[in-house]
Amino acid sequence: MTEINELKLKNYCAQIERELLRFTQVKPELQGIVVQAMEYSLTAGGKRLRPMLMLEFCRMCGGDISAVLDIACTIEMIHTFSLIHDDLPCMDNDDFRRGKPSCHKAFPENIALLAGDALNTLPFEVISGAAIDGRITAETAVMLISVLSKSVGINGMIGGQVIDLQSEGKDISEETLNVLQEHKTGALIEAACVMGVVLAGKYDKIPAAARYASALGRAFQIVDDILDVIGTFEEIGKPVGSDSEQNKSTYVSVLGLERSRCEADRLTGEALSYLNEFDDCGFLSELTESLLERRS
């Protein structure tokens, strides 16, 4: 990325991380441990891609991003909740996340479970609160809640996780894998992009944002699958080869390494083509290209 866009990326991450910390400042005496667990996972690192996408689509559509930083963080809360629950012994049983002990290893398992639950509900409190404060309209809040809740449910991330669990140890088709990942990974990425457009009130841009997100989401997952094969613990923050050990179907297991790389490249190009429908998309174009070459 260019130097100016690298600075913009760092600025976005810093703003998002400061805002996330604001939600866990108050730790009530009796239930403070669950807030500590929420904070532990929220501040464990990560690219902050989803809130960044929401802010960028809002900005590209003419919205004021300074007024909606807390709403952008809602998508990161949902993402973090999903990671906490994914790592639990009853799910993927992963001991590490982003190079640190998973939430259920740093805290009691029942507290980690409740921390995930709390991060799944807090976003809707934040969005409705923004409407009550008058920063967004009630209509906008309803649209945001509709998009976000659908992206989490059985036709979104949770549905994808179910397909993933039921596919363990089985040979599945590329078509089934696409459906799995469009739900498990792609749904939240699409929600982030569409919510940004909704915040700016440019509803005619929703289809282009959704198409961009669909291509980006699949490319992003393919690169994740590649890194699980060729990456290192230091790069990806968890043991390499965990998907294979759990008999999970991935793009590498279904397509092979080289075809996976080609498909990620093709989908990245497709995502970039949809950005042409937006003004001042240089930063997001560079970010999209950089995700193809990432090592973490």
Domain ranges for the chain, please list them: 3-292
Model confidence pLDDT, tens digit, residues 106-132: 999 999 999 999 999 999 999 999 999
* Look-up of token digits 């509803």: 203
Contact predicate 33/107, CB 8 Å: yes
What spatial distance separates the first Cα and last Cα of the chain, rounded to whole Å?
A: 16
Model confidence pLDDT, tens digit, residues 194-209: 999 999 999 999 999 9
What pTM was computed for the model?
A: 0.95
* Residue 168, both tokens: 């363990």
Q: How far is CA 177 from CA 40, 165, 220, in A?
A: 32, 12, 14
DSSP-based three-state secondary structure for 101: strand
Question: Dmax of the chain from CA atoms?
Answer: 54
Phi/psi for 179 (5° steps) reads -65, -45
Buried b / exposed e across 224-241, counting CB within 10 Å, b at 16+?
Answer: bbbbbeebeeeebbbebe
Given a cut of 80, whether residue 245 has pLDDT beyond it is no
User: What would the CATH number be for the domain defined by 3-292?
Assistant: 1.10.600.10
Given a cut of 80, whether residue 249 has pLDDT beyond it is yes
